[in-house]
Structure 1
Amino acid sequence: MNSPNRTELTEALSDQWDALARLTDGLPEDRWRLPSPLPGWTVFDVLAHVVGTESMLLGEPTPEADTDLRELAHIHNGIGALNEKWIRSLRPLTGAELLERFRATADRRRAALTAMSDEAWQSPSESPVGTVPYARFMQVRLFDCWMHELDIADALGLTVDEGGPRADIAFAEMVPTIGRAVVKQAQAPDGSRITLTLTGAVPRQLHIAVNGRAELVDALDGPATAALDLPSGLFARLRGGRTTADAHLGEFTVTGDTELGGRVIRNLAFTL
């Protein structure tokens, strides 16, 4: 997929914020406090994290922590600590109050994105993937919010539409770096040829050739050493570190070199 243009990306972000609001609208308070797939975070915390990040992008100051965040097992780095500060500051709200805050924040972000100049849209910005153009940062934001829709849906036991333009942009964040998982984490040997066939909402066929380093290619120059077939939703959750392959035995198949394929599917995570 080519990078989305400004209009496509801002529309996708707006649609994603609407999807999060629909998913959490009318939740009883006890459902807001259900644990999510993210360690240490409830449904409430996931949406609070989105509120915090979008508030930060609006220029709001980061709240001070009310405890030593280093004591929390689910915080592993500075970004995690930053996220936690916002979440802890919002936890006194009810779920309904948080949703109201989210909707207001999303509206302010829509207005800010509309008013932004083309120069600012392309200006360097600090992001989770380094210093990149602001436009690139917004692609990361779309991916993050899309993954969090899945987190909330899974926590609530609900099904959401996992395909469409928002999913296409999210997958564009997950696919290009898959070579690292294949070589660094799964230890695929030189000469390996791997095909991942994704079915369901976001059908894809990914071919990876290992020649010194792993590269995504349009087609393999011979039979696949290992071939994996799995739903796109499971792929997204594995890449996002939300679950493990062993928790979904029977939902995917591995053919060819099953040992190599097993290592690949068990080492897809690149974020959590």
Structure 2
Amino acid sequence: MVDLTALLADLAAESDQLDALVAPLSPEDWARPTPAPGWTVAHQVAHLAWTDHVARLAATDPAAFFASVTGAPDPARLVDDGAESFLAPPAELLARWRDGRAALATALAAVPPGEKLPWYGARMSPASMVTARIMETWAHAEDVADTLGVTRPATARLRHIAHLGFRTLGHGFAAHGRAVPTAPVRVELTAPASARSELAGRAVGSEDADGDTWIFGPADAADRVTGPALDFCLLVTQRRHRADLSLVATGTTADEWLDVAQAFAGPPGAGRGPTA
């Protein structure tokens, strides 16, 4: 059984970490361009505020959620237009994001057990929705941190993103117009040192008992991906190019996956080019 309360606490902690980065910024810093083309720091926060809003609609008013999708003037610009629509002066935007994420947490906690929520693609359980929000918040916070020249501490919350990255293997291939592979892939990731102490003494998954290594997939899979958990999370959120990461792929399927991995819904992202 997934502990939704614990997941929501992790989402709150992830949001608070980004909040602490942006709250003290000057208006000039809010206007700084980030690695996402055309997006400033304000766009990054506005995107999270918008997605929190539509996620709350999915949980409380599915008809309004579907209307927001079908009524989009340009579906190809849905994400960009959503962020633009939530832009505001920094203080107002920050308040809007804080209020919206609190409202979303309340809405998700109230979803009846077993109910699935509409989303862009497959329907999602509340737990899957929270996991996706953790992934999105972490990824966009990474853009903000890169812009500010800040290195954030890696936490045990990365395990949610790593697990989601593993589960969306097929989606990455499909989004890029490739056949979804049938061969299983084993993923073995070295947990960040700071995360190991957080996980000590509590269950962290069906396969990794001590938290030092996060393991997904069957033990007898011929295809494998190994490396640091942080690098895997950066890859599946398309925040770094595989050439800049210490991930090792064994087998054709695993190797191709590192080119198309995508933990987020929607069309294929442009990704980031290699730094060298």
TM class by smaller structure: 0.5 to 0.7
User: Which consecutive unaligned segments of at least 5 residues does structure 1 have?
Assistant: 71-77, 208-215
Following the alignment from structure 1 to structure 2, what is the Cα–Cα distance between the partners of residues 43 and 244?
21
Given that 2:34 and 2:147 are in contact with CA atoms closer than 8 Å, whether structure 1 keeps it comes out as yes
Structure 2 match to 1:268: 261
Task: Determine which of 9, 23, 26 is the counterpart of 2:24.
Answer: 26
Equivalent residue for 1:97, pick from 92, 95, 109: 92
1:99 is aligned with what amino acid? L
TM-score (structure 2 length as normaliser): 0.67
Q: Which residue of structure 1 aligns with residue 103 of structure 2?
A: 108
Match for 2:246 among 248, 252, 256? 252
Looking at structure 2, the residues matched to 232 and 270 of structure 1 have their Cα atoms a distance apart, in angstroms, of: 14
- Match of 1:238, as an amino acid? L
Q: Which amino acid aligns with 1:252?
A: S
Segment of structure 1 superposing worse, 174-183 or 133-142? 174-183
8 Å contact from structure 2 (residues 234, 240) kept in 1: yes
Q: How many residues align?
A: 237
Task: Tell me, yes or no, if the aligned pair for 2:170 and 2:181 is still in contact at 8 Å.
Answer: no
* Distance (Å, rounded) in 2 between the aligned partners of 1:87 and 1:123: 28
- For 2:161, the equivalent position in structure 1 comes to 170
**Cα drift, residue 240 of structure 1:** 1.6
TM-score (normalised: structure 1): 0.68
Return the letter of the residue paired with 1:26: P
Task: State whether residues 186 and 263 of structure 1, in contact with CA within 8 Å, keep that contact through their aligned partners in structure 2.
Answer: no
CA contact (8 A) 1:186 1:264 kept: no
CA shift in 2, pair 1:6/1:198, >3 Å: closer
CA drift at 1:47: 0.8
SS in 2 for 1:230: strand
- The letter of the residue matching 2:189 is L
What CA distance in whole angstroms lies between the structure 2 residues aligned with 1:82 and 1:45? 14
Aligned partner of 2:220 in structure 1 is 220
- Identity, in percent, stands at 22
Q: Which stretches in structure 2 are left out of the alignment for 5+ residues?
A: 196-211, 270-276
Q: How does 1:1-272 map to 2 (within 5 A)?
A: 4-59=2-57, 78=75, 81-91=77-87, 93-113=88-108, 116=110, 119=112, 122-164=114-156, 166-178=157-169, 196-201=187-192, 204=213, 216-217=217-218, 219-220=219-220, 229-246=226-243, 248=244, 251-252=245-246, 254=248, 263-271=256-264, 272=269
Larger Rg: 1 or 2?
Answer: 1
Distance 2:165 2:250 in 1: 24
The structure with the largest strand share of the pair is 1
